[in-house]
Structure 1
Amino acid sequence: MHNNALLSNPLSRKRERAGVRADVRLQQARALRQSPTTAEQVQWRHLRNRQLAGAKFRRQHPLGPYILDFVCLEHGLVVEVDGGQHADLQAQAYDRQRPVWLRQQGLRVLRFWNHEVVQQTNEVLAHVLQALTPALSRTREREVNTEDE
């Protein structure tokens, strides 16, 4: 196909714009990883290297139109850590759309305030572990069933 035909094709332009947006989100995610908040540092200290129930978490992971603070793709769990900027009315409207889209992708979402992560770390981790437990139980159940066959 001739290059001019690609440029005039609306579908090609749409894909190109989507690719540019994905590149921008990836760069934003990298920048966010370089300057985590105190709460994100605390949370990551406990989630990294499969420390919590052996679950593999990623941080500042771009997915669709969003960058997720922490996500365990294997178990379909997103953990968001929110600062004071999320109390703004405009941010609240954006934040209401986000979990709806994520649930449509088959993900569960847990949200915590920065001060909860920093001051009540064990309680936050207990909530995350509880959210992982059903997924871990289903995984173990499948492993046992396949061993029996």
Structure 2
Amino acid sequence: MPHTPLPPRHRANARSMRKVMTTAELKLWNELRAHRLMGLGFRRQFPIAGYIVDFACPQKKLVVEVDGSQHGEADAVAGDEARTARLEKDGWTVLRLWNNDVIRDIDNVCQHIVIVTGLGSPSE
């Protein structure tokens, strides 16, 4: 899949962000990495359309964002909506998760991701 052109500083920023993941991001990454979740390949801190998304599954065109409470503030909500719209314009599905949900209920978070990808159903 061809990448959207990316300024070198964005690529460097993505690389450095991989080294300082939040607790919730690290917990989810441990479930997603190395095709551990239903064989899906995820990338972390992945550059797409001028943004660096938390996690992306290029095979399913799925973006998973793990958000803290600051994303509930008005300015952040507007920014997140614009970001989501831009990613969706390129055909990506954006799934937003709260840090607390990832930390407290990783099994259901993973099940939800599988359902969104179309590989599972709520009855499984």
**TM-score with structure 2 setting the length:** 0.88
Which of the pair has the greater relative contact order for Cα pairs under 8 Å at 6+ separation?
2
Cα deviation, residue 101, structure 1 = 0.8
Tell me the amino acid that sits aligned with residue 65 of structure 2. E
Over alpha carbons, which structure has the higher Rg?
A: 1
Root mean square deviation of aligned Cα: 1.7
Residue 6 of structure 2 corresponds to residue 32 of structure 1: no
Cα deviation, residue 57, structure 1 = 0.2
Aligned residue number for residue 11 of structure 1: none
Q: Give, in whole Å, the separation in 2 of the partners of 1:22 and 1:128.
A: 30
Aligned residue number for residue 41 of structure 2: 56
Aligned residue number for residue 73 of structure 1: 58
Identity, in percent, stands at 39
Aligned residue number for residue 123 of structure 1: 108
Q: Give the gaps of 5 or more residues in structure 2.
A: none
Cα deviation, residue 56, structure 1 = 0.5
Q: Give, in whole Å, the separation in 2 of the partners of 1:83 and 1:22.
A: 27
Residue aligned with 1:56, SS: coil
Q: Give the one of 109, 116, 120 matched to 2:94.
A: 109
4+ long deviations beyond 6 Å: none
**TM-score with structure 1 setting the length:** 0.74
| Number of aligned residue pairs | 117
Q: Give, in whole Å, the separation in 2 of the partners of 1:103 and 1:62.
A: 14
Choose between structure 1 and 2: higher helix proportion.
1
Q: Give, in whole Å, the separation in 2 of the partners of 1:91 and 1:28.
A: 20
